[in-house]
């Protein structure tokens, strides 16, 4: 008896995605694969249908699996998504021939410690520290225990390389090639006046560094933490440590020029 080749299909619910899913399942079965609409740990591949948001949610909901992903874009942008709905045939052909590369996606870990306990988050795009009710935040920023700045403004983004084209890019941060092991700290509306001084531009930090952010004591309850757009609020935050995660996500890559083509076609 031959081994089953299970492929998980994770799709959002919009019309285009459902249509694509039906077609994909039909074609995978015809090619001897076993598509599964409920997440199986025994699968060899995860196919995510939707946009970047669907891709991010598929990873969070399935606890950062080691099974590689490939995305079919039915979203607005789909920067993570490698394929279009009309490319399913060539995808199956190339997948069967193992004609692809596996790309690593680096993530960011945050340890949020309050006076009572610590909480752990992992972000694929970024972790953002902001003020509640749009208040100005005042944050002490340390890199490897070296004090860098007392930041005042709307907040700080700590972005991964893959996340650099998301919120980070809108905030004026740089685009970082996904294989560069690094994190980027990007200010959101930094205040620069005779009262406050904050770095006006982003800084790219080596992948083994620890970024520590401490809210000023009287502001410890006015901090929000956003993980890939999902909002978290903690009582009495003492410190937030951010590092590149040991966990990694894997994504199939069918063209080495995809990244540059994507940048041009999706951002210019």
Residue 109, token pair as written in the block:
């870990």
* 231/133 Cα distance (integer angstroms): 13
50 binds Mn ion (CB under 5 A): no
The 3-state DSSP class for residue 20 equals helix
Stretch that binds ligand NAP, among 36-44, 78-86, 96-104, 182-190 (CB under 6 A): 78-86
Choose the one of Mn ion, ligand NAP, none that binds residue 103, judging by a C-beta under 5 to 8 angstroms depending on kind.
none
Residues identified as active-site: 52
107 binds ligand NAP (CB under 6 A): no
| Burial letters 61-96, b for 16+ CB under 10 A, else e | ebeebebbbbbbbbbeebbbbbbebeebeebbeebe
Residue found under tokens 């196919």:
47
- Which of 13, 76, 116, 133 is the binder for ligand NAP (CB under 6 A)? 76
Question: What 8-state DSSP symbol labels residue 87?
Answer: G
162 binds ligand NAP (CB under 6 A): yes
* 13/54 Cα distance (integer angstroms): 10
Choose the one of Mn ion, ligand NAP, none that binds residue 77, judging by a C-beta under 5 to 8 angstroms depending on kind.
ligand NAP
Q: Looking at the DSSP assignment, which residues form a beta bridge with residue 8?
A: 36, 46
CB nearer to ligand NAP: pick between 85 and 229: 229
Task: With CA atoms as reference, report the closest residue to 238 among 255, 259, 253, 223.
Answer: 223
CB nearer to Mn ion: pick between 33 and 80: 80
106 binds ligand NAP (CB under 6 A): no
51 binds Mn ion (CB under 5 A): yes
- Taking the complex as a whole, the smallest distance from the CB of residue 250 to ligand NAP amounts, in Å, to 16
154 binds ligand NAP (CB under 6 A): no
- The residue ranges that bind ligand NAP (CB under 6 A) are 51-53, 56, 75-80, 125-126, 162-163, 165-167, 170, 228-229
């Amino acid at each position: 008896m031959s081994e089953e080749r299970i492929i998980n299909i994770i799709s959002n619910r919009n019309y285009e995605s459902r249509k694509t899913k039906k077609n994909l399942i039909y074609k995978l079965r015809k090619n001897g694969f076993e598509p599964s609409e409920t997440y199986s740990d025994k699968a060899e591949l995860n196919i995510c249908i939707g946009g970047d948001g669907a891709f991010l949610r598929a990873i969070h909901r399935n606890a950062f699996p080691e099974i590689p992903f490939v995305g079919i874009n039915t979203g607005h942008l789909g920067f993570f998504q490698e394929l279009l709905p009309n490319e399913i045939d060539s995808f199956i052909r190339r997948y069967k021939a193992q004609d692809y590369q596996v790309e690593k996606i680096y993530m960011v870990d945050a340890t949020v410690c309050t006076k009572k306990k610590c909480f752990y988050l992992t972000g694929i795009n970024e972790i953002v520290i902001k003020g509640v009710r749009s208040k100005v935040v005042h944050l002490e920023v340390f890199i490897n225990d070296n004090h860098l700045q007392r930041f005042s403004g709307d907040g700080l983004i700590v972005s991964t390389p893959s996340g650099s084209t998301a919120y980070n890019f809108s905030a004026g941060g740089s685009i970082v090639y996904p294989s560069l092991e690094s994190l980027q700290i990007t200010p959101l509306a930094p205040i620069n006046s005779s009262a406050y001084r904050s770095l006006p531009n982003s800084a790219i930090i080596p992948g083994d560094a620890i970024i520590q952010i401490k809210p000023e004591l009287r502001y410890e309850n006015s901090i929000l933490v956003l993980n890939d757009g999902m909002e978290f609020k903690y009582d009495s935050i003492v410190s937030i440590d951010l590092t590149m995660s040991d966990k990694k996500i894997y994504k199939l890559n069918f063209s080495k020029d995809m990244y540059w083509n994507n940048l041009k076609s999706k951002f210019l």
